[in-house]
Chain A
Amino acid sequence: MSAMPTIRSREMRVAHDIPISKTLPFWEGLKQGKILATKCKKCGKLHFPPVADCSCLSSDMEWIELSNEATIETFTHVVVRPATFQHEKPYTVAIGRLKEGVRVLAWLTNFKPSEIKVGMKAKLVAKQTPQGQLTYEFTRPE
């Protein structure tokens, strides 16, 4: 990659196994088309992304299914993509605020770029990719 002389380091492949046992209902929920958040039984705070432990230090949480109505607060079209997203077409990432007050960051799909505006409505849906990856995205409301 350069005209300057170099030696090449040893190559190492890295991937991490990320534990999800404490938030398993969320990942299971995605398979059933549901988007779940956690709510602290002690202080009442609603958490998305879901967490097993609250900032008030209580771990007494309950699972709540979120509505899917979102208002888009901001967005970007990602054209230059990182190494592990090279196979994707350019994608739009948006942050939407749900009726319940929590915000969600996710891809925004099924809109033409020129249609996307701050303040517009979108629907939050759970999704499983053809490769089996569990995710969620904003899409056009019916």
Chain B
Amino acid sequence: MQKVAVIGVGNSKFGNRNDVNVQELAFEAVKQSIEDAGVSPTDIEFVAFGSAGAGAWYEESLPAVTISEYCGLTGAGLVRCEAACATGSAAFFTAYSAIASGYAEITAAIGVEKMRQIDTPTAMEFIGRSGYYTWEFHNFGLTFPAYYALHATAHMAKYGTTEEDLALVAVKNHKYASMNPVAHFQNKITVDDALSSMVIAWPLKLYDCCPITDGAASVILASEEKVKELKIDTPIWVAGIGYSSGTANLSKRLDYVGLEAAVQASRMAYKMAKITPDQVDFANVHDCFTIAEIMAYEDLGFCKKGEGAKLIREGQTEIGGKIPVNVDGGLKAKGHPIGATGCSMIYELTKQLREEAVEKSRQVPLKNYIGLAHNVGGTGHYCYVTILRR
């Protein structure tokens, strides 16, 4: 297997982007990543494109082709990947595999989502159908916050996690988003703001939920040989990738206090990278809802099962703590343009590992120069864990 490095990254401004269509939004990230890598569009041999809601929350059914054409990538090998909210990581894995296997030397993973061209109840309908439509949505109208609320209720009942603990995750991630110019939200919040916000799916309230966001992120990858040829200053190597999946029906899971797919995917990634969880300097985890971040601490082995709430209470996932998590604001406050999120995590990891965090104030301290991205699709329906190393 060939070694693969990230050589260029780009991230559009996340938020309500009704100033641009899906092609123009993707262009912002693609241009940045190609310029960052110091290559040209025609150097890219294969494009793995990620978008989960093509034709649903925006008008184009084949966005891979419209965006490739728009960004000067026509002619490259092309595929659209779908892994629900882990779509961006699925695209990254596909672009990685094309090089690791020896087929290509330079590839791109592009993730885009344009979620705000339809009304909110319809957006919630599309996302709610992203489980097992027939058995869990058709008669029961399970929304996406509700899928995670089922986990929050179980975690609270089993481990004594509280609504205040969930609020602490929101407060932390809003704080870091306010320091990140690409983030959707730029406001800090308090625990009281979170606790008094409207109930969406009890026990989850408005501030426990990520926003509906437009955004794009793009990553350029290269083989070791190309890294040398292009004289890349600071290649960020893909040290490990793990993946797994969970049942479509939530009713077929064994418990609701963690995501087994995340446990399996992380074990696989750690094994490939030959590291243990305590060697990870910082992580971007899939905090689509606050409970998801607490379960991620446990599933990834940053703490023991049931002790996730303790980690946030003690501030161990802040900069200066044991393992800083989501210091770009996370999905919760940077925003979660579904297909873009996985690539945006790679963008953040790469910037941090190069010690190029946009503002010095949210640069994490690096000891082992190892960052981890945990990207969950659905409610543990898919999971990808990617470990990058400088």
A80 close to chain B: CB less than 8 A: yes
* In the bound complex, CA of A135 to CA of B145 (Å): 22
* B249 x A81 contact (CB < 8 A): no
CB proximity to A under 8 Å, residues B1-46: 16, 18-19
CB proximity to A under 8 Å, residues B110-126: 117, 119, 121-122, 124-125
Tell me the minimal C-beta distance from B63 to chain A in angstroms: 14
A24 close to chain B: CB less than 8 A: no
B151 close to chain A: CB less than 8 A: yes
Q: Name the CB-closest residue of A to B150.
A: A74
A76 close to chain B: CB less than 8 A: yes
Q: Which of the residues A6, A78, A95, A135 comes within 8 Å of B139, measured between beta carbons?
A: A135
A83 close to chain B: CB less than 8 A: yes
**A75-87 Cβ-contact flags toward B at 8 Å (1 or 0):** 1111111111110
Task: Collect the chain B residues with CB atoms within 8 Å of residue A91's CB.
Answer: 140-141
Task: Collect the chain B residues with CB atoms within 8 Å of residue A80's CB.
Answer: 124, 143, 145, 198, 200-201
* A88 x B199 contact (CB < 8 A): no
Tell me the minimal C-beta distance from B135 to chain A in angstroms: 5
* B251 x A79 contact (CB < 8 A): no
Q: Which of the residues B18, B132, B140, B146 comes within 8 Å of A6, measured between beta carbons?
A: B18
* A76 x B121 contact (CB < 8 A): no
* B146 x A76 contact (CB < 8 A): yes
Tell me the minimal C-beta distance from A112 to chain B in angstroms: 13
* A2 x B18 contact (CB < 8 A): yes
Tell me the minimal C-beta distance from B197 to chain A in angstroms: 12
A104 close to chain B: CB less than 8 A: yes
Q: Which of the residues B134, B136, B142, B153 comes within 8 Å of A74, measured between beta carbons?
A: B153
* B153 x A82 contact (CB < 8 A): no
* A76 x B153 contact (CB < 8 A): yes
Q: Are A93 and B146 also in contact (CB < 8 A) when A9-B59, A49-B135, A83-B122 are?
A: yes
* B140 x A107 contact (CB < 8 A): yes
Task: Collect the chain A residues with CB atoms within 8 Å of residue B124's CB.
Answer: 80-83
Tell me the minimal C-beta distance from A124 to chain B in angstroms: 12
* In the bound complex, CA of A80 to CA of B145 (Å): 9
* A76 x B150 contact (CB < 8 A): yes
Tell me the minimal C-beta distance from B122 to chain A in angstroms: 5
Q: Name the CB-closest residue of B to A74.
A: B154
Task: Collect the chain B residues with CB atoms within 8 Å of residue A77's CB.
Answer: 199, 201-202
* In the bound complex, CA of A4 to CA of B21 (Å): 11
* A86 x B121 contact (CB < 8 A): yes
Q: Are A78 and B18 also in contact (CB < 8 A) when A48-B251, A95-B150, A95-B250 are?
A: no
Task: Collect the chain B residues with CB atoms within 8 Å of residue A82's CB.
Answer: 121-122, 124-125, 128, 141, 143
B252 close to chain A: CB less than 8 A: yes
Task: Collect the chain B residues with CB atoms within 8 Å of residue A93's CB.
Answer: 140-142, 146, 150
Task: Collect the chain A residues with CB atoms within 8 Å of residue B146's CB.
Answer: 76, 78, 93
Q: Name the CB-closest residue of B to A92.
A: B202
* B251 x A104 contact (CB < 8 A): yes
* In the bound complex, CA of A117 to CA of B153 (Å): 9
CB proximity to B under 8 Å, residues A86-123: 86, 88, 91, 93, 95, 102-107, 113, 117-119
* B198 x A79 contact (CB < 8 A): yes
* A81 x B141 contact (CB < 8 A): yes
Tell me the minimal C-beta distance from B247 to chain A in angstroms: 10
Q: Name the CB-closest residue of A to B141.
A: A85
A69 close to chain B: CB less than 8 A: no
List 16 A-B residue pairs with CB atoms under 8 Å apart, sorted by A's residue number. A1-B119, A6-B117, A9-B59, A74-B157, A76-B201, A77-B199, A77-B202, A80-B145, A80-B198, A81-B143, A82-B121, A83-B122, A91-B141, A102-B251, A105-B142, A113-B202
The 6 A-B residue pairs with the shortest CB-CB distance, nearest first, are A76-B149, A85-B141, A118-B157, A82-B125, A83-B121, A77-B202
Task: List 8 additional contacts besides A49-B134, A105-B135; criterion CB under 8 Å.
Answer: A49-B135, A76-B146, A82-B143, A91-B140, A93-B146, A93-B150, A102-B251, A117-B157
Using a CB–CB distance below 8 Å, which chain B residues touch chain A? Answer: 16, 18-19, 59, 117, 119, 121-122, 124-125, 128, 132, 134-136, 139-143, 145-146, 149-154, 157-158, 198-204, 249-253, 256
Using a CB–CB distance below 8 Å, which chain A residues touch chain B? Answer: 1-2, 4, 6, 9, 18, 48-49, 73-86, 88, 91, 93, 95, 102-107, 113, 117-119, 133, 135-136
